[in-house]
A and B are shown apart, each in its own frame.
Chain A
Amino acid sequence: MTATAPGPRLEAEGLARAFGAHRAVDHVSFTLEPGEVVALLGPNGAGKTTLLRLLSGALRPSEGVVKLDGRALDTRGPEWQSRVGVLSHQGFLYGHLSARENLRFYADLYALDHARERVERGLESVQLTPRADDTVRTYSRGMRQRLALARTLLHDPDVVLLDEPYTGLDAHAAAVLRGVLEALRDGARTVLLVTHNLTEGLALSDRIAIQVRGRWVHEAPARDFDPTTIHERYRQTVEGAGGGAP
């Protein structure tokens, strides 16, 4: 991890992406501070996943710039790729390989030093060491998601992008996940968490943003939200911005 630079860690300026004529992300601008955890909420089809894919470099933006530590960033360049970690709703795992082999594969792709130790530490952190040599297809949804999280964090990224990490998890897996995410709030790492789960998003984040129809329509510190009224406030924001049912 690099030393904390003054100023924002990640900035997006006028980020946009259209598929044919459909604007999935419509000129979004924001900043993420070092150490900040931001929860991004929004209805289905709001373009949240597309935004994450733009930030991660999986998609090329039609317009706009992303800046890392104040410098314009090639989201498809190796420098950024080795500093960002992405957890999607798919695990990016090979079912016929064991957990250890999967992590080892990614450690080699990232050309990490001390690969063996990192892999073991990663397995440990998500409590999968006892099952590390079983093939991933024998895993439950929760175990897969934990392994996917270990894969996301294997190269110790400065910026972590999480897309609906809680979908379909049992209580135990959710607890492990929450523990790891809490540990990510170490003051240096920047996390953008896309979620449907308002309560979970509120509990984990410093700031809440709401995206509707490709735009960020609302941003506020998490402390401004009351857990009892957040659902109502969210619904009003989404409807006010012309979005469908949340």
Chain B
Amino acid sequence: MASAVALLGASLLMVLLWMVFFWVPTEAVQGVIQRIFYVHVPAAWVSFMAFGIVALCGVMYLWLKDDRFDRLAVSAAEGGMVFTTIVLLTGPLWGKIAWGTYWTWEPRLTLTLLLWFIYLGYFMVRNATENPERGKRFAAVVGIVGALDIPLIHVSVLWFRSLHPQPVVLNAEGPALDADMGITIGMGVLAFTVFFFGVMMLRYQLECARARAELLEAR
């Protein structure tokens, strides 16, 4: 089941690649670099969705103390961190050409950077306890507080930006989408989401297998 979903996601990614390189028209103002959006935007979507799963599973884990929720949470978090990293790599690549600088304190990019650090904290507490169960609880707490704080971080960085002059940029807003571009973005979101869930489920199975192996080893 999990591998089927992952394979489906991978095939959708192939279709997405074909669409990005051969099908969708080149955006008039920005040119070829705009095509990175079809990776950047879906990756950002998956990053935040994954953190939602981390937080929800964290709540369930603290409530029911059922290891399966923790396994699901850590699987989502690992995937989420990979996709967050993709966002942070593709954003500046685009920014260098479109804005003339690798980094600006663009609110969404800033938020993603902070999300990446919250993920980092999540993994650091998890692996820094002698009693593994305690690490799971601590990680759940980080996930929950992080998820509650993220909207506020978003509001605050938006507010901050509204006050401060931005560096001169060629085009501060994202490109205006025509229909084909919209379809490609939609395809990207679909492909990334399916692929993410496939990988997450595979990772979850691995985590379950690891727990079983530990039990057997102890016997």
CB-contacts of A1-41 with B (<8 A) = 19-23
Cα separation A22 to B133 with both chains bound (whole Å) = 13
Cβ-based interface call for B149 (8 A): no
Query: Is B178 interfacial (CB-CB < 8 Å)?
Result: no
> Nearest-CB distance from A62 to chain B (Å)?
10
Q: In the complex, A20 Cα to B216 Cα: how many Å?
A: 11
Within the complex, the shortest CB–CB distance from A16 to chain B, in Å, comes to 13
State whether the Cβ of B64 lies closer than 8 Å to any Cβ in chain A. Answer: no
B218 and A23 form a contact (CB under 8 A)? yes
In the assembled complex, B214 has its CB within 8 A of some CB on chain A: yes
Contact of B215 among A19, A21, A60 (CB under 8 A): A21
Give the chain A neighbours of B131 by CB distance below 8 A.
19
Task: List residues of chain A with CB within 8 A of the CB of B65.
Answer: 60
Q: Report how far A19 CA is from B215 CA in the complex, Å.
A: 11
User: Of residues 91 to 149 in A, which have CB atoms within 8 Å of B's CB atoms?
Assistant: none
- B-side contacts of A21, CB under 8 Å: 214-215, 217-218
Interface size, A (range): under 10
Q: How far is the CA of A23 from the CA of B217 in the complex (A)?
A: 12
Contact with A along B110-138 (1 / 0, CB 8 A): 00000000000000000000011100000
Please report the C-alpha to C-alpha distance between residue A20 and residue B65 in the assembled complex, in whole angstroms: 14
Q: Scan B55-97; emit 1 where CB is below 8 A from any A CB, else 0.
A: 0000000000100000000000000000000000000000000
From 47 to 91 in chain A, residues with beta carbon under 8 angstroms from any chain B beta carbon are 60
Find chain B residues with CB under 8 A from A22 CB.
218
Can you list, as one digit per residue, whether each of B25-67 has a CB less than 8 Å from chain A (1) or not (0)? 0000000000000000000000000000000000000000100
Expressed in whole angstroms, the Cα–Cα distance for A226 and B131 within the complex equals 41
Residues of A within 8 A of B218 (CB): 20-23
Complex CA distance for A23 and B219, rounded to whole angstroms: 10
| Shortest distance between the CB of A22 and any CB in chain B (Å) | 6
Contacts of B133 in A (CB 8 A): 19-20
Kindly provide the distance from the CB of A130 to the nearest chain B CB, expressed in whole angstroms: 42
Shortest beta-carbon distance from B215 to chain A in Å: 5
Determine the distance from Cα of A21 to Cα of B211 in the docked complex, in whole angstroms.
Answer: 9
How far, in Å, is A20 (CB) from chain B's closest CB?
Answer: 5
Fill in one digit per residue for B180-219: 1 if any A CB lies within 8 Å of its CB, else 0.
0000000000000000000000000000000000110110
Most buried by B among A19, A20, A60: A20
Which residues from chain B sit less than 8 Å from chain A, CB to CB?
Answer: 65, 131-133, 214-215, 217-218
Closest 3 CB pairs of A and B: A21-B218, A21-B214, A21-B215
Q: Contacts A19-B132, A20-B132 given; 7 further ones with Cβ under 8 A?
A: A19-B133, A20-B214, A21-B214, A21-B215, A21-B217, A22-B218, A60-B65
